[in-house]
Structure 1
Amino acid sequence: MLSTLRSTLRSSNISFGRVLTGAAAIIMSASLVTPMIAQQQESERATRELSESTGIHHDQLGVYDTLWRDRLEGVAQQSLAKAEATVQANAAKADASAAKTAIAGLDDYKKLDDSKLRKSIDTTDAATAALAAAGAAADQRAAAAAAAAAAAAAAAQAAANTPDGAKATARSIAASTYGWGDDQFQCLSSLWSKESGWNYQASNGSSGAAGIPQSLPGSKMATFGADWATNATTQIKWGLDYIKRGYGTPCSAWGHSQSVNWY
């Protein structure tokens, strides 16, 4: 068959060597074209994805390449800003290491190609969302703890505002602050039982005296706390100071009260 081909080529004045050279050129061209085709197919796939994600018609994408890159970099800037703000707001409340790593990866966004840039943006956004959620959970735990502490304080205050609670508070402060023992406390107990029944809400309608020590007026007790009207402990602190300044001891104050019916 080869001899027939040679004869045909001679009759046609075509060199057999030229035929072989042409065949080799075709083979070489195929080796170059194949990867080019693959590259073109990948480009077309990326173009389709870009068209679907942006809504820009396939035929127009060439015109908008620069605008698309600018838009993508703008998204990267927004992701970075949000991530950095989230880290600043939540680093003290939750583990921010993943978000910081993502920020570092996105920081050189201008050097990343479109595919890597989109992935880096997604990674950063996910880390930002996770950190924000962790921070919110920490805030909820802190709020719950604060609410529990406030409830405990309110319960303790309510107990201290009862007559028995007020007496226990007065006994403790009288001993620790003024060195008054049980003998003085007995006089104090009698004095304030007569004045108010140890009721922090007691009020004298005729004189205007108020509270456990029957301060006249009640607002004088504000020197020991703005909560004087609702806190038996504040009233007790004011009353003990008043007794110390005016009578020296509770028993002296009680003796004066028995003598003239006031102190």
Structure 2
Amino acid sequence: MSRISVRGFAVASATAVTTVGSVVGVASGNTTQTPSEDAEALVGSSTLLADLPAGQQAQVQTASLTQQADSQAIAADTTAKKDAEAAARKKAAEDAVSKQKAAEKAAQEAKEREEAKKEAASRSATRDPSSFAPQSSYTIAEVQSMARQIVPADQFQCFSNIVDHESSWNYQADNPTSDAFGLVQALPGSKMSSAGADWQTNPATQIKWGLGYMEDRYGGPCGAWEFWQANNWY
């Protein structure tokens, strides 16, 4: 059997040092030495584990193994704590991102609701073309005033830009090279009969038809104006 030195066990475990110290004290007849003094004496004398009784050998080995297990448990706890802290930081970051996205979505939805509300209010404030009393003739100022009351406020400038280019606000403008007619130069002009039989003489009827055409085809006057700028027609 190999003779194993107790030195490694004595320095590895406080519990083992205490146990071995007590053994050495008993063997030497000195019962007044402290555990640390016993350990030093044991290490200094190179006492071998094999020199100890079997029961005391088991105590020394058990103490050393216990300390190793405790060290491993502490290391495992430390690793677990670090992992838990990292997971907590990751979760906090993910929660922050989720909250930010939710806030941005809520803000966008609120903005869309507000815009829809404004658009609805603008449209509700417009006047029905049929409410205008017929006249024998209309000035440009009168036609523009009618348009302001029929076209939604946020779309009026775009509508005005198109009419400026198409007819210069002349509700009787007749294109000599085609059948285009009126404020918005409907082609042919007879298309505007869907808005009213008086399409040739009533600017309100022409405005109503032109607005409907722009909304159906381009989403509104501003969409039509954007297309017009790119193509010089709409």
Higher RCO structure, 1 or 2 (CA under 8 Å, sep 6+): 2
Largest Rg, 1 or 2: 2
Give the TM-score of the pair, scaled to structure 2: 0.42
Say which structure is richer in helix: 1
